[in-house]
Structure 1
Amino acid sequence: MDIDDSQEGILLFGILENGKCEKFIDSSYRPYFFVLPIDKKKAIKEIEEIVKKNSLPVTEITEDRRILHGEEKEFIKIYAKRHQDMQKIRDAIKVLEEKRGGSGSIIDEFEYQISAYRTYLAEKGLSCLNWFEIETKGNQIKSIKKVEIPPPKLKILAFDMEVLEVQRGTPSIVMISVFGEGLSKVITYQEAKYTVDSNVVNDEKELIKSFLEIVQDYDPDIIAGYNTDLYDMPILRERAKQLKVDISILSRDNSGITLSKRARFTTARLIGRVHIDIFNFVFNILSPMLQSEQLTLKNVSHELLGDTKLDMEYEDILQAWDKGHELDKLARYCLKDSELVYELTKMLLPDIEELTKITGQSLFDTSRMPYSQLVEWYYIKKSKQQNRVIPNQPKFDEIKERQKATYEGGFVKEPEVGLHKGIVVVDFASLYPSIIATYNISIETLNCSCCKDNGYKIPEFPYWFCKNKKGFESQAIEELLIERLKLKKELKKLDPLSHEYILLDTKQRALKTIINASYGYYAYPASRWYSKECAESITALGRYWIKEVLKKAEQKGFHAIYGDTDSAFLKIGDKKEEIKQFIKEINQSLPGLMRLDLEDFYVKGLFVPREAGGVAKKRYALLDENGRLKIRGLEIVRRDLCRYARQTQQEILKFCLIDENIEGAFKHLNERIKALQENNYDFKDLVVYEQLSKPISEYKLISPHVIAAKKLIEKGIPVGEGSVIGYIIQKGSGSISERAYPVELADASKIDINYYIENQVIPTAMRILRIFKKEHTLF
């Protein structure tokens, strides 16, 4: 189901049982918003006068009882003729607010800014990706209800474009590839001996037309790409406009590509189909779990699929097109990108679909939501189910004030620097969410009048939470926690390779995503459910319980070498059974849904000091019983250093942690430095990759990758927000940033080797080697 609210009523696109796509209109939706009055009768009278005087498109004014922050209140419900009229009506009546110098008959207005289709989905309790039984009269929906059967298989078409400045200053599309089930094709307008299925046309105009014909014939439900919101879709729309090509058929309602920008986010919408930019989901949701240097299609595909792009730099592509050689390589390169996008979409779509069901929103929106929005829309869906009024988003000034607020986070026991053996790591399962559920943490239960003497007391603060009435956020998160626990119990009974296991595992991962974002949403400055008090209560309880675990572990003879927020690193030697009994005893003492888990046993662990003395949080490497390394906070997993420096550190880590050969580690560092000095290295290993997170014009601090990007633009090479810039540092005068050259324009003979030795290789290596006290001399 896809949705468009451009007509009177809600326009729904859906797949019938026979696989055909149809559209229907649900005219039952009536746009409305709420007004919270001080004096209800006076407010209604004054609102009616304003409506009449200004000829406002109001169809009805009614009274309604709704819950706001736990209290049932009397509201005025104002219905508008069209959804887009609500802001105008609200602006006219807000003069009645006392804070604006009005008569003081109303306090505030709610739900006037939420889009029509999102309100419709939340209010109806519908969710995309479900089957619905509908009764219709013509194309008008008379009734609609959800049917619990598996959703249909959606038809996916992935695409990729190669764009070059054929004419100075004008980006042109020279090749488009498409990939789907039973479809693998490249469209271009230069003749060559292509080894892939190709369609050679006369020019760029025909290339775009040919692409549109394929889309029309294939009729996909999902069109997928990588960074297509910011790059491919805007370029496609602009080139089609300049070449006078009608691209309306990309959408099933013939509206073409709809671009919209909110803050720094741009989206490209197709009505009747779902455009999924898989980069958004990777960036918003997966990036914290990935080891990739940069979130490029190449890196992400390699990590998730075990497959990767074909090697071809921008200069190679430009040369291939200009000189008409290696065009087959370019075609294979372009087609491979579409294939990778298709495989990534197939892999990640089940997770996106489950999140879509939990939030109750559209597949298009959910695939682009960061953690905060996933929680917000889950709460909005629950609010509609419970007859609650949705709190307003904070105004800009309020967000700025919230950004100034600080409070203490999780407890950290500084690690004991050095090499340790016989380690176990224990951690709380979803610590902060389980605290929210267990201690009834909610805005409406904070410092309630009924529990001042016997509520859930918060250590270190004059706060308590109600024990008599369940809070909104607490209940909402508890439901997800309980559902996930049930799924995890079911998973233990199933074969991990079975289809049922894969389905349930996908569901529990989606639940975990929203569960773990719930605490952060309290502290998110733009949150509708913001509460500094709730956030600091959660961290206070988290500090209390991790300290309790560390204290009780010491009492049992397990030496705590490190503790961080929800985890304890204990030195236990070979006392594996004793630690299991310890965890069992702790869990018997924990309240509610709180639970301590055994994460893993580790043969050795190396804890690293910070640069200016002392020790560092989350900077360690562990070796498990299967010989696998778990690394946190070291440069090996950082994305802003060259591969040569990271590889050096990783090899030194193995010398120290696995072999315990410190002399060998120093010797290896000397050899790596010598190799650089003797030009015995691969040029590509010195490239640093960084991503442009915003347009070039918005950067205030001019860092190396921004300077390198500007040099690309000067040469007519298109880059912008989302582009990954590879650069090296060359010899010369000026700052390091000024000496940054994009890899496409770099001169290998001018690389500043001393920069790499002194600023990258030695500092990253010594992060580990300074642990060991012996005197060693570097080459």
Structure 2
Amino acid sequence: MAQRFCLLDIDYVIEQHRPVVRLWGADEQGKAIVLLDRSFEPYFYADVRQITEQQEEELLRRVLALSFDGRNPRRVERTERTFLGKQTSLIKITVPLPTDVDYVRDIVKTWDEIKGTYEHTIPFSRRYLIDKGLLPLAWYTVTGKPIETALAVDIAVALETLTPQSEEHHPSFRIIAFDIETIDRDGTQEIIMISLKDTAGFETVISYGKQKQPKGVPLEIVEDEAAMIARFVKHITERRPHIIVGYNSDRFDFPQLQRRAQTFGIPLDLGADGSPIILTRRGRSSAALIRGRLHIDLFDFVERVLGTTLESEVHSLDRVAKEILGVGKIPLEWKDIERAWRDKDLATVARYCLMDSELALRLAETLLPQIYELSRVVGQSPFDTSRMFYSQMVEWLLIRNAFTSKELVPNRPPQDEIKKRHKVPAYTGGYVHQPTEGMYENITVFDFASLYPTITITHNISPETLDCQCCGKHKEENPNMVPGQDHFYCRDHKGFVVHVLEDLLARRRALQARPSNKVAEYRQHAFKLLANASYGYYAYPGSRWYSRVCAESIASFGRMYIKQVITLAIKEGYHVIYGDTDSLFLQMKTEKKIQPFMKIVNTSLPGIMEIECKGFYTAGLFVLAKTGVAAKKRYALIAADGTITIRGFEKVRRDWSVIAKDTQEAVLRAILAEKDPKKATSIVRTTVEALKEGTINKDHLVIYSQLTRPLSQYEQIGPHVAAAKKLVQRGGRVHEGTVIGYIITPGTGTISERAEPVEDATRYDAEYYIHNQVIPAALRVLSGLGITEDDLLHDTKRQYSLSGFLQKPK
């Protein structure tokens, strides 16, 4: 038979002492499909010392003679791979089961003939995707034999061949979102409600007790908590979703469900094969794995990948949904939920719970296509990719390319080596051209296009090309000689990482040249993200291809090139306001000057390096720190349409209250758009008066800060830690990663002692918010005009002028 198939997820099981790879996916109609492949076997490599041919033959026989639980290695083959630029002779040891890899490796690594072992830590499912060249979310034509199965799928096939197809669309996956609500009862978190909503229009809320059925809410009332969990499992198995999504479901929802299900002896069998959820360790956190159904925790993706592109630094469901969807959660605090539950007001809690599932589903419909494309580029499953940091994505991209390039993958560094790398002093990063504090008009912003990736490619920066022997005799003439260092890179043999980056950027350019669609847009953005992350990967202590020298070299070239462009700009008669790493701010009287300047610069740059224009602004404000040194990226720009771009000010930081941020933005607008410092000071005084009068909404006073470790590990008790401890004492829930919202209340004691969780704060300390929030935020903008705190607190009748603050072109 021939069957169309889009790959979504992968796992394996052991049947009859053999691994069976299961490829989960769907066809165009959304029918669930599983492909079973029994032909793939696990293996690893061993590097053999120089020995005689006879000794090598004896070595191969010793490996094959190993016995473990009645099994032996399947095969031992001689092979060659390139390892960091050197051709290396290896033996490839194939074993029956994935668990046998570690067993056999632990034996052979102790033999005198073996120098080292490699690729033993690559998980079997990921190994399969790499070796077979399969891409998640790609389309294939399948040939194989249809088989009967107890798995919850529409079609099961014993796989014979997979032929890639060129389609770019995604199937209509069945996606279901869920959320739980809990209350504290005598120190135990009990689940009181579970909501579900899917892409087919199904929605329900499950709760329990003897309450009456409220009107207007799709609420199912069952006997008790155990019956509620069982009903949740029943809905999942009956709805048969391809994808299950939650928001913080790895750390909260699924662990809570598993714990309560175990308490009641209920199997949480959500897998398409009837298996229970598995909480797997991922660094310091866990991930909930559901076999045959892709589980995506949207919070993980937002926190690790998307968060840097969001305006909000608070990544709660409410904040993220408001920014992306324009709508947030129903405003209820945990105390309100507990009160409503105890008052048997199920409708209020049910609406709140169902809204959380609706927001998670809508976010999934927006974010999943981005996850899909990152997954395709990295070449690993969406389950894994959505939980990776950028450095991990780069590493798996390199591992995948290593297989096709016949490169041997370096081993992970041991923990003691990682600790050493962490202790290495920081090297010099990007160059900063300090501005003169003040306001400027007619500003053009230029950026190097993918500065560090293009430097890497242009100068062939890869661990194996560093200080090569073939170029050592004439290194002074080498264009890849690192400025200010005694290192250079090969000019004749292209590095492995360079090959990978070239391919990424070439594929991105090809997509940009095609008619645009959402899939292509997300994919080319994935290419850009991974290319830009490659520089940081060199310096990442856990990196397999770690090279501090490579990272330092890239930064050194970066400093050289931005200085060159600054020199060129000055030569062309432009005033350089500010420069930072890969950005340049110039005063240009007219936008007509932009293209000619870019042409001059790009002609002078080597290789594929180039600059591009990021925008023309009518005015901008640049501010110095108190030390007289420009704070990195602390500026505000206004475009002709009134749009303000803010970097480095409190407006874009979460550890300042809304009242401070809003006041600062209003002050910036008064200065940039209206050039009216008197109005700016008036705005501040009005805010101060409102604070004194107690008329400011509580929501505008909340300060947010994230817990970066368990509460018990904090030695210094800052305001957010003190507030979190109070929250826990009153029955609230916090964990590492929780964003704590608090308000500083009046009274005696330190600021930390007066920090109250937002749920409990009924009053605020006006003096704190005036002197520690609003005034400092405003003075960040206004102090350069000679405006003082006294001017903001009292109408001193002083006259203010921008004349001394407005910087004229030089």
Give TM-score, length-normalised by structure 1.
0.94
Structure 2 counterpart of 1:347, one-letter code: T
User: Partners of 1:684 and 1:583 in 2: how far apart?
Assistant: 46
Deviates more, 1:528-537 or 1:765-774: 765-774
Q: Does the 8 Å CA contact 1:13/1:272 hold for their aligned counterparts?
A: yes
Shift of 1:393: 0.9
Q: Pairwise CA RMSD of aligned residues?
A: 2.0
Q: Does the 8 Å CA contact 1:227/1:722 hold for their aligned counterparts?
A: no
Deviates more, 1:677-686 or 1:693-702: 693-702
SS at match of 2:491: coil
User: Partners of 2:273 and 2:75 in 1: how far apart?
Assistant: 31
User: Partners of 1:694 and 1:276 in 2: how far apart?
Assistant: 24
Shift of 1:698: 3.6
Aligned to 2:150: none
Q: Does the 8 Å CA contact 1:39/1:106 hold for their aligned counterparts?
A: no
* Residue 26 (structure 1) aligned with residue 37 (structure 2): yes
Q: Of residues 212, 224, 231 in structure 1, which corresponds to 2:252?
A: 231
Alignment of 1:682-693 (within 5 A): 682-693=697-708
Q: Does the 8 Å CA contact 2:439/2:620 hold for their aligned counterparts?
A: yes
User: Partners of 1:668 and 1:400 in 2: how far apart?
Assistant: 51
Structure 1 counterpart of 2:421, one-letter code: R
Q: Quickly say closer, same or farther: Cα 1:579–1:370, change in 2 above 3 A.
A: same
Alignment of 1:290-689 (within 5 A): 290-325=310-345, 327-405=346-424, 406-452=426-472, 453=474, 454-455=477-478, 456-490=480-514, 494=515, 500-574=516-590, 576-689=591-704
1:439-479 Cα shifts (integer Å, max 9, x gaps): 21111211222223253222111222222222111111111
Shift of 1:567: 0.8
Q: Of residues 184, 194, 212 in structure 2, which corresponds to 1:191?
A: 212
Q: Quickly say closer, same or farther: Cα 1:774–1:714, change in 2 above 3 A.
A: closer
Shift of 1:685: 1.6
User: Partners of 1:344 and 1:693 in 2: how far apart?
Assistant: 25
Shift of 1:732: 4.1
Aligned to 1:765: 778
SS at match of 2:553: helix
Aligned to 1:100: none
Deviates more, 1:550-559 or 1:169-178: 169-178
User: Partners of 1:191 and 1:44 in 2: how far apart?
Assistant: 79
Q: Does the 8 Å CA contact 1:648/1:761 hold for their aligned counterparts?
A: yes
Q: Does the 8 Å CA contact 1:689/1:727 hold for their aligned counterparts?
A: yes
Shift of 1:300: 0.6
Shift of 1:70: 2.0
Shift of 1:16: 4.5
Shift of 1:401: 1.4
User: Partners of 1:468 and 1:122 in 2: how far apart?
Assistant: 29
Q: Quickly say closer, same or farther: Cα 1:234–1:583, change in 2 above 3 A.
A: same
> Percent same amino acid at aligned positions?
41
Structure 2 counterpart of 1:615, one-letter code: A
Aligned to 1:777: 791
Deviates more, 1:281-290 or 1:718-727: 718-727
Q: Does the 8 Å CA contact 1:134/1:145 hold for their aligned counterparts?
A: yes
Deviates more, 1:364-373 or 1:702-711: 702-711
Q: Of residues 261, 272, 276 in structure 1, which corresponds to 2:292?
A: 272
1:282-340 Cα shifts (integer Å, max 9, x gaps): 11111111111400111111111112111111111111101123x32322221111111
Q: Of residues 24, 36, 43 in structure 2, which corresponds to 1:13?
A: 24
User: Partners of 2:46 and 2:91 in 1: how far apart?
Assistant: 5
Q: Does the 8 Å CA contact 2:64/2:74 hold for their aligned counterparts?
A: no
Aligned to 1:111: 119
Q: Does the 8 Å CA contact 1:132/1:145 hold for their aligned counterparts?
A: yes
Q: Does the 8 Å CA contact 1:44/1:76 hold for their aligned counterparts?
A: no
1:152-180 Cα shifts (integer Å, max 9, x gaps): 22111111111112x21121111111111
Structure 1 counterpart of 2:782, one-letter code: L
Gaps in structure 1 of 5+ consecutive residues: 97-102, 495-499
SS at match of 1:645: helix
User: Partners of 1:359 and 1:12 in 2: how far apart?
Assistant: 17
User: Partners of 2:61 and 2:236 in 1: how far apart?
Assistant: 51
Structure 1 counterpart of 2:506, one-letter code: I
Shift of 1:57: 4.5
1:557-577 Cα shifts (integer Å, max 9, x gaps): 110010001111001223x22
Q: Does the 8 Å CA contact 1:67/1:388 hold for their aligned counterparts?
A: yes
User: Partners of 2:66 and 2:134 in 1: how far apart?
Assistant: 38
1:716-752 Cα shifts (integer Å, max 9, x gaps): 2222233332112233444322332212233x24x33
Q: Does the 8 Å CA contact 1:414/1:617 hold for their aligned counterparts?
A: no
Shift of 1:14: 3.0
Q: Does the 8 Å CA contact 1:205/1:240 hold for their aligned counterparts?
A: yes
Aligned to 1:99: none
SS at match of 1:58: coil
* Residue 203 (structure 1) aligned with residue 214 (structure 2): no
Shift of 1:40: 4.6
Structure 2 counterpart of 1:156, one-letter code: I
* Residue correspondences, number: 758
SS at match of 1:6: strand
Q: Does the 8 Å CA contact 1:162/1:175 hold for their aligned counterparts?
A: yes
Q: Quickly say closer, same or farther: Cα 1:641–1:192, change in 2 above 3 A.
A: farther
Q: Of residues 99, 112, 121 in structure 2, which corresponds to 1:84?
A: 99
Q: Does the 8 Å CA contact 2:242/2:294 hold for their aligned counterparts?
A: yes
Q: Does the 8 Å CA contact 2:271/2:290 hold for their aligned counterparts?
A: yes
Shift of 1:193: 2.1
Q: Of residues 285, 305, 309 in structure 2, which corresponds to 1:289?
A: 309
Shift of 1:44: 6.6
Shift of 1:106: 2.6
Structure 1 counterpart of 2:218, one-letter code: D
Aligned to 2:742: 727
User: Partners of 1:359 and 1:188 in 2: how far apart?
Assistant: 41
Shift of 1:48: 5.4
Aligned to 2:765: 752
User: Partners of 2:140 and 2:333 in 1: how far apart?
Assistant: 48
Aligned to 1:497: none
Alignment of 1:131-280 (within 5 A): 131-137=139-145, 138=147, 140-149=158-167, 150-165=169-184, 167-181=185-199, 182-189=201-208, 190-248=211-269, 250-280=270-300
Q: Of residues 20, 37, 62 in structure 1, which corresponds to 2:48?
A: 37
SS at match of 2:632: coil
Q: Of residues 9, 13, 22 in structure 2, which corresponds to 1:2?
A: 9
Deviates more, 1:139-148 or 1:345-354: 139-148
Shift of 1:673: 2.0
Aligned to 2:804: none
Shift of 1:349: 1.1
Structure 2 counterpart of 1:396, one-letter code: Q
Deviates more, 1:699-708 or 1:459-468: 699-708
1:238-286 Cα shifts (integer Å, max 9, x gaps): 11111222221x1111112100123212100101010000111111111
Gaps in structure 2 of 5+ consecutive residues: 1-7, 148-156, 794-810
SS at match of 2:47: strand
User: Partners of 1:262 and 1:44 in 2: how far apart?
Assistant: 41
SS at match of 2:468: coil
Shift of 1:510: 1.3
Q: Does the 8 Å CA contact 1:413/1:563 hold for their aligned counterparts?
A: yes
Q: Quickly say closer, same or farther: Cα 1:146–1:695, change in 2 above 3 A.
A: farther
SS at match of 1:76: strand
Shift of 1:95: 2.4
Q: Of residues 717, 720, 734 in structure 2, which corresponds to 1:702?
A: 717
Aligned to 2:808: none
Q: Does the 8 Å CA contact 2:65/2:72 hold for their aligned counterparts?
A: no
Structure 2 counterpart of 1:58, one-letter code: P
